[in-house]
């Protein structure tokens, strides 16, 4: 793509999208997607439309040229909630409590069908057991070959597949709610004293605990177990009808499966896309897995497998 002299490229994310701001201070962002444009442009704008309709802040669509692989959206500035919390740790609960309120609002969205800007219907998919399994298996597909000797991989993968399937079958809550699927503080912009959700194109209808696990056990920021428990309890206070034991069971399983997936995704970004900056987050993803597996007997089999094949030296490999 030949860039117009009027555009400045912004730092990107883990997707195939590229973002540009106008030099003339026009208050909008151009989003280009050379690959997977349906997901990154069409569905992304459709989910944002649904969020806005339900009074949840998200970037508005201003213009689109799907044929030329771009959309124009509202410019929310450069400040994420991550940026704020890194500089203002003393105010963390103020922001986290607002986010948990937004999450509760998100989970009340009932409509799973949206009309896109191309006047087509998009139905938000169900986060099925099969999808959960495929995502968790990214750990086997991308991280294991990068770390483990080839002659040990087959036996390890067989054990892990069996254990992942067991954990998925151990999920108790059958209710499906709107799930952002990447609900963490780097995907939240702070603009005009409001929190806006971004990167929503992978939304599904899934387990009630998934987005809370994404928020609390976030690989990008380190929080104490005491703070994590405080946030967990805050969600329970707001959502009084929840069966706490059932919810905690699902929360911990989904946290572990999600962080296995994240290790796999960060490995794929390195191997396939030559994006190595995410590797430094892998040691903390391991920390998060350890925090959940060390204190819950439901994970005893998984913990034994991981301890045998992934000693601390391997888990710390990409640590700064």
DSSP 63-75: EEEGGGTEEEEE-
CATH of the domain at 154: 3.90.1200.10
The domain containing residue 211 runs over which residues? 81-115+125-315
**Using 50, 70 and 90 to split pLDDT, how confident is the model at 188?**
very high
Q: Do both 245 and 299 map to the same domain?
A: yes
- Predicted TM-score of the model (pTM): 0.94
59 SS3 class = coil
- Asked if residue 165 and residue 30 are part of one domain, the reply reads no
| Alpha-carbon span 289 to 256, nearest angstrom | 5
Residue 278 has pLDDT above 70, yes or no: yes
**32 shares its domain with 93:** no
- pLDDT at position 14 is 57
For the cut 90, the answer to whether the pLDDT of residue 51 exceeds it is yes
Same-domain status, 143 and 54: no
Dihedral sign for Cα atoms in the order 164, 284, 296, 155: positive
Cβ atoms of residues 267 and 146 within 8 Å: yes
Helix (H) or strand (E) holding 138, with range, is helix 138-138
> Which position has the token pair 């771009």?
70
> Is pLDDT above 80 for 6?
no
CATH code at 64?
3.30.200
The verdict on 22 and 157 lying in the same domain is no
Dihedral angle sign, alpha carbons of residues 142, 163, 280, 218: positive
Rounded to whole angstroms, the Cα distance separating 213 from 102 reads: 15
53 and 106 within one domain = no
Residues 307 and 237 in one domain: yes
Average confidence (pLDDT) over 139-165: 96
The residue written with tokens 């124009």 in the block is 72
Each residue's pLDDT tens digit, 118-132: 999 999 999 999 999
Neighbours of 278 (CB within 10 A): 21
Cα separation, 273 vs 14, whole angstroms: 9
The tally of domains found in the chain comes to 2
Q: Is 1 inside any structural domain? A: no
User: Looking at the structure, do residues 69 and 87 belong to the same domain, yes or no?
Assistant: no
In a domain, 164, yes or no: yes
Residue 41 and residue 71 in contact, taking contact as beta carbons nearer than 8 Å: yes
């Amino acid at each position: 793509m030949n860039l117009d002299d009027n555009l400045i490229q912004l730092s990107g994310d883990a997707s195939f999208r590229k973002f540009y701001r106008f030099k003339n201070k026009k208050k909008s962002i151009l989003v280009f997607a050379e690959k997977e444009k349906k997901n990154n442009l069409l569905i992304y704008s459709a989910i944002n439309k649904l969020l806005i309709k339900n009074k949840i802040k998200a970037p508005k669509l201003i213009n689109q040229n799907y044929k030329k692989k771009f959309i124009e959206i509202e410019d929310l500035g450069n400040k994420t909630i991550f940026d704020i919390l890194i500089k203002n740790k003393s105010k963390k609960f103020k922001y986290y409590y607002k986010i948990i309120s937004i999450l509760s609002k998100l989970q009340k969205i009932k409509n799973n069908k949206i009309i896109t800007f191309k006047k087509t219907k998009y139905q938000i998919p169900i986060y099925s057991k099969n999808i959960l399994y495929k995502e968790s298996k990214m750990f086997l597909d991308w991280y294991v070959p990068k770390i483990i000797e080839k002659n040990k991989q087959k036996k390890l993968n067989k054990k892990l597949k069996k254990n992942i399937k067991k954990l998925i079958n151990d999920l108790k809550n059958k209710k499906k709610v709107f799930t952002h699927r990447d609900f963490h503080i780097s995907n939240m912009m702070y603009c005009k004293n409001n929190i806006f959700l971004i990167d929503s194109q992978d939304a599904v209808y899934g387990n009630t605990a998934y987005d809370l696990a994404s928020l609390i056990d976030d690989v990008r920021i380190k929080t104490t177990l005491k703070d994590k428990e405080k946030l967990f309890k805050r969600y329970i206070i707001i959502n009084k009808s929840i069966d706490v034991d059932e919810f905690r069971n699902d929360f911990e399983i989904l946290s572990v499966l999600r962080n296995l997936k994240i290790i796999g995704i960060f490995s794929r970004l390195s191997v396939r896309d030559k994006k190595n900056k995410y590797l430094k987050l892998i040691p903390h993803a391991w920390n998060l897995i350890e925090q959940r597996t060390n204190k819950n007997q439901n994970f005893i089999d998984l913990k034994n497998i991981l301890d045998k094949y992934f000693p601390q030296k391997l888990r710390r490999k990409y640590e700064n």
